[in-house]
Amino acid sequence: MADKGITSRTEDFSQWYLDIIERAELAENSAVRGCMVIKPYGYAIWENIQKELDRRIKVSGHKNAYFPLLIPKSFFTKEASHVKGFAKECAVVTHYRLKESPDGKGIVVD
């Protein structure tokens, strides 16, 4: 039986995961859509998971790889055949230069 407010894993695994993270207060939503801020306790758990996964990967004879959070579009263009199926899951960040607004009360795009 599912706990109140926590979606069943079999019903929707992705939502179950988000429900657990929220209920345990391991992270919180960021002002940036689709991003979360991992709290110290949640980050400590992540470090332990990372350590164990790294150990298992190395034991299997493989090398681990880490990827940057922000990847230039030119990299995706160069590796187009490898990103097939993933592109729809990518957030696109556009480069803008910010400047003080004319009234001096905020920031605007230059």
User: How far apart, in Å, are the Cα atoms of 88 and each of 8, 30, 69?
Assistant: 26, 21, 16
Residue 86 is predicted with a pLDDT of: 62
Residue 94 covered by a domain? yes
Residue 4 covered by a domain? no
Residue 3 covered by a domain? no
Residue 6 covered by a domain? no
Residue 30 covered by a domain? yes
Domain count, the chain: 1
Residue 97 is predicted with a pLDDT of: 82
Residue 1 is predicted with a pLDDT of: 45
Q: What are phi and psi of 29, to 5 degrees?
A: -65, 145
* Contact assessment for residue 34 and residue 42, using Cβ atoms and an 8 Å cutoff: no
Range(s) of the domain holding residue 33: 13-109
Residue 19 covered by a domain? yes
How open is the CA angle 30-94-88, to the nearest 5 degrees? Answer: 75
Residues ≥6 apart with Cβ < 8 Å to 107: 98, 99, 100, 101
* Contact assessment for residue 107 and residue 97, using Cβ atoms and an 8 Å cutoff: no
Residue 40 covered by a domain? yes
Tens digit of pLDDT for each residue in 33-77?
Answer: 777 899 999 999 999 999 999 999 999 999 888 776 776 777 767
User: How far apart, in Å, are the Cα atoms of 5 and each of 18, 73, 101?
Assistant: 11, 38, 44
Is the pTM of the predicted complex or chain greater than 0.75? no
Q: What is the average per-residue pLDDT within 92-99?
A: 77
